[in-house]
């Protein structure tokens, strides 16, 4: 399993084009891993988690072809993670060569936005999923895990992707996991790689995200429950400039805990 990070930022990206905080100014000055697009990860070349507003520029920047996608997992309805207009670029008249049949999986409220694209008959289908569901997609077994992402009626999901040998747990846009999430995760056994939300940096994260201290608490629970084993890797992911930490500062802060820090273009092979 090969994972490519196509974006590692929260909703406003880094730098926020309207902001001159220290984190944003350092990103403008230094470039490289300090610059982050909205979060998305590609698994091998056929499964994408989140289809947000920066996916076109990220694919071009990292020389990624998306016409082979067969599955897209949508975490939730927020526009930094789900911009269905991007589906237009795979349709005849835009794409000059054939693309693979594609199935979208995600909460029902997110999939409501895809109806116009389904009607155009471009080998596109959609399947609503909810927390606790498990299904086969291509060569993967995927499990939906409930996120803790604020109140209201919006459903937010996390995903475990299993290719028959390795397990990836993608857990962004969530605060501390609820007991329902642990009940889903515990029987799956240890993960080989976990991407865990650390949006809020030095902040608390509130009821929808993690800050540094909450991240360490969730890390401890992951170990206690056997979800993060001795051979597994934990990656902090999905950052806001409002958290007050540059990429370099995040790396320094997490190094004592053996936690990696994601960045745009990062690749991990399992």
Question: Which pLDDT tens digit goes with each residue over 176-210?
Answer: 999 999 999 999 999 999 999 999 999 999 999 99
Q: Provide, rounded to the nearest whole percent, the portion of the chain with pLDDT above 90.
A: 94
Q: Under 8 Å CB-to-CB from 5, ≥6 apart: which residues? A: 40, 41, 237, 262, 263, 264, 265, 266, 267
Domain encompassing residue 51 = 2-269
> Any residues with CB less than 8 A from the CB of 119 and at least 6 apart, and which?
none
CA distances from 63 to 1, 130, 265 (A): 18, 33, 10
Give the number of domains in the chain.
1
Q: Is the dihedral of CA 200, 238, 36, 103 positive or negative?
A: negative
* pLDDT tens digits along 49-105: 999 999 999 999 999 999 999 999 999 999 999 999 999 999 998 999 999 999 999
In the predicted model, is pLDDT for residue 22 greater than 90? Answer: yes
Backbone angles phi, psi at 188, to 5 degrees: -75, -20
Q: Can you give the pLDDT at residue 115? A: 85
What are the tens digits of pLDDT across the range 125-166? 999 999 999 999 999 999 999 999 987 789 999 999 999 999
Q: Supply the pLDDT for residue 149.
A: 96
Contact yes or no for 4/235 (Cβ under 8 A):
no
- pLDDT at 140 (0 to 100): 98
Q: Which pLDDT band holds residue 253 (cuts at 50, 70, 90)?
A: very high
What CATH number is attached to the domain comprising 21?
Answer: 3.60.15.10
Alpha-carbon distance 59 to 11, whole Å?
Answer: 18
Do 169 and 160 meet the contact criterion of CB atoms below 8 Å apart? Answer: yes
């Amino acid at each position: 399993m090969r994972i490519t990070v196509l974006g590692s930022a929260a909703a406003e990206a880094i730098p926020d084009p309207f902001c001159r905080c220290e984190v944003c100014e350092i990103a403008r000055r230094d470039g490289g891993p300090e610059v982050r697009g909205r979060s998305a990860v590609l698994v091998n070349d056929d499964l994408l988690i989140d289809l947000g507003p920066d996916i076109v520029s990220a694919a071009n920047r990292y020389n990624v072809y998306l016409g082979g996608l067969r599955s897209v997992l949508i975490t939730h309805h927020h526009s930094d993670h789900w911009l269905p207009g991007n589906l237009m670029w795979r349709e005849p008249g835009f794409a000059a060569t054939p693309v693979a049949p594609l199935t979208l999986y995600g909460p029902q409220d997110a999939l409501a936005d895809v109806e116009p694209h389904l009607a155009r008959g471009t080998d596109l289908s959609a399947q609503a999923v909810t927390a606790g569901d498990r299904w086969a997609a291509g060569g993967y077994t995927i499990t939906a895990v409930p996120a803790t992402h604020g109140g209201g009626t919006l459903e937010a999901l996390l995903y475990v992707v299993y290719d028959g040998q390795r397990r990836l747990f993608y857990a962004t846009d969530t605060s501390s996991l609820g007991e329902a999430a642990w009940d889903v995760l515990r029987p799956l056994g240890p993960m080989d790689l976990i991407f865990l939300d650390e949006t809020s940096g030095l902040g608390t994260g509130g009821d929808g995200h993690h800050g540094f201290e909450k991240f360490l608490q969730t890390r401890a629970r992951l170990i206690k429950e056997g979800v993060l084993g001795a051979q597994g890797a934990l990656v902090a992911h999905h950052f806001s400039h409002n958290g007050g930490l540059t990429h370099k500062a995040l790396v320094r802060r997490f190094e004592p805990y053996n936690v990696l820090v994601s960045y745009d273009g990062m690749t991990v092979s399992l």
